[in-house]
Amino acid sequence: MESQKPKSTIDFKLTPKAKSTSLLLLRHCILDKMPQNYGSTDLAKAQVLLNAYRYQYYRAITAQPENRRAYTYALNCPPSGFNALPKTKTCKNPKVCPWCFVRLRLVKAYRALLAVPVSAREGYQVVAWGRVTLNDEKLPFLRSNYGPHTWCEALVTVQMVVPFVNENVPQGQPKVQLCHSGIQIIPKDCEISKELNRYCIRPALKGKMFGKVTHDNIIKAMVAVLRLEWMALYRPHNLDAFEGLVNGFKRSQLIRISPYKADTADTAV
Ligand SMILES: [Zn+2]
């Protein structure tokens, strides 16, 4: 049985933003992973996602009425990539909110990778790697001074840890796992799989190359390691995992960027 829709839900009027980086990233990394029968346009899919996200918050409010106020604010977070009217505040919780995941994680990563000026891109390529780890005490981030960033002599390295619901885990095991992903700009002649194949990295990272440093290839690389099934998080039987994520990882920095520095290439000569 579905929970009651609270009166304070805002009915957004959504219009896709033209030439929006947010919409591009939302489409490729989130909406494209949704089943085809949810609609063929960005708007139709975003509406389905918005409803699913909201219904999970309604269920959370029913389970914990004391959180009604905070959760009502969160469920009225405006979808990214669209002009949403009336205007509301963002919830700033990218662990459960797909709109804030786009704003605070994907856009940030994309901009950091594109920060390499066109004149410095010659001789470099885009690569991505990833792995799934258990959600235990320690986050699986690799160090910027001893890890893929230095091993590959990268111009930029973006690492992200995304907690997600994996519905395929064997029964009895925790459903929330961590997707650890990296996207880098590294020299063309660097063999990513060879560099990542070190005994100190367990579980192992799987790497893939995407060619020249272009907008399109950066998006392809992000899709390869960051496209997760967000709808799983909003299924009624995953309410416990959702509630855990709403309040979890409070003090953790889940995106880490080793940014482009203009003099990196010069000093390497
Ligand atoms: Zn949000």
**Distance separating alpha carbons of residues 207 and 129, to the nearest angstrom:** 4
pLDDT of residue 268: 47
What tokens appear for 92 in the block?
């700033």
Q: How confident is the model at residue 191 (pLDDT cuts 50, 70, 90)?
A: confident
Q: Residue 260 domain-assigned?
A: yes
Q: Residue 44 domain-assigned?
A: yes
**C-alpha 105 to ligand 1 mean position (Å):** 12
**C-alpha 80 to ligand 1 mean position (Å):** 9
Q: Residue 3 domain-assigned?
A: no
What DSSP string runs through 186-252?
Answer: EETT--HHHHH--TTSSSPPEEEEEEES-HHHHHHHHHHHH---GGGGGSGGGHHHHHHHHHSSTT-
- Give residue 152's domain range: 13-268
**Distance separating alpha carbons of residues 34 and 230, to the nearest angstrom:** 8
Span 217-252, pLDDT tens digits: 999 999 999 999 999 999 999 999 999 999 999 889
Three-state SS at 166: coil
Q: Is the dihedral of CA 39, 40, 43, 45 positive or negative?
A: positive
Surrounding residues of ion ligand 1, Cβ less than 5 A: 77, 90-91, 97, 99-100
Q: Residue 4 domain-assigned?
A: no
- H or E element that contains 156: strand 156-165
Largest CA distance in the chain: 65
Q: Residue 200 domain-assigned?
A: yes
**C-alpha 259 to ligand 1 mean position (Å):** 25
Q: How confident is the model at residue 23 (pLDDT cuts 50, 70, 90)?
A: very high
Listed residue (181, 184, 177, 167) closest to 227, CA to CA:
181
Q: Residue 5 domain-assigned?
A: no
What DSSP string runs through 56-69?
Answer: HHHHHHHH-GGGHH
**C-alpha 247 to ligand 1 mean position (Å):** 14
Complex ipTM tops 0.95 = yes
**C-alpha 233 to ligand 1 mean position (Å):** 15
**Distance separating alpha carbons of residues 33 and 47, to the nearest angstrom:** 15
Strand partners, 187: 124
What tokens appear for 120 in the block?
């410095």
pLDDT of residue 60: 97
**C-alpha 163 to ligand 1 mean position (Å):** 16
Listed residue (91, 82, 100, 87) closest to 42, CA to CA:
82
Please count the structural domains in the chain: 1
Per-residue pLDDT at 265 exceeds 60: no
What DSSP string runs through 97-154?
Answer: -HHHHIIIIIHHHHHHHHTS-GGG-TTEEEEEEEEEEE--SS--PPPSSSSHHHHTT-
**C-alpha 211 to ligand 1 mean position (Å):** 33
Asked if the peptide bond before residue 203 counts as cis, ω within 30 degrees of 0, the response is: yes
**C-alpha 76 to ligand 1 mean position (Å):** 8
Q: Residue 118 domain-assigned?
A: yes
**C-alpha 223 to ligand 1 mean position (Å):** 20
Mean pLDDT check: name the lowest of 159-173, 216-230, 253-267. 253-267
Q: Residue 243 domain-assigned?
A: yes
**Distance separating alpha carbons of residues 126 and 219, to the nearest angstrom:** 10
Using CA atoms in the order 242, 247, 252, 255, what is the torsion angle rounded to 10 degrees? 40
pLDDT of residue 226: 97
**C-alpha 94 to ligand 1 mean position (Å):** 6
**C-alpha 89 to ligand 1 mean position (Å):** 8
**C-alpha 112 to ligand 1 mean position (Å):** 21
Span 208-221, pLDDT tens digits: 999 999 999 999 99
Span 107-154, pLDDT tens digits: 999 999 999 999 999 999 999 999 999 988 789 999 999 999 999 999
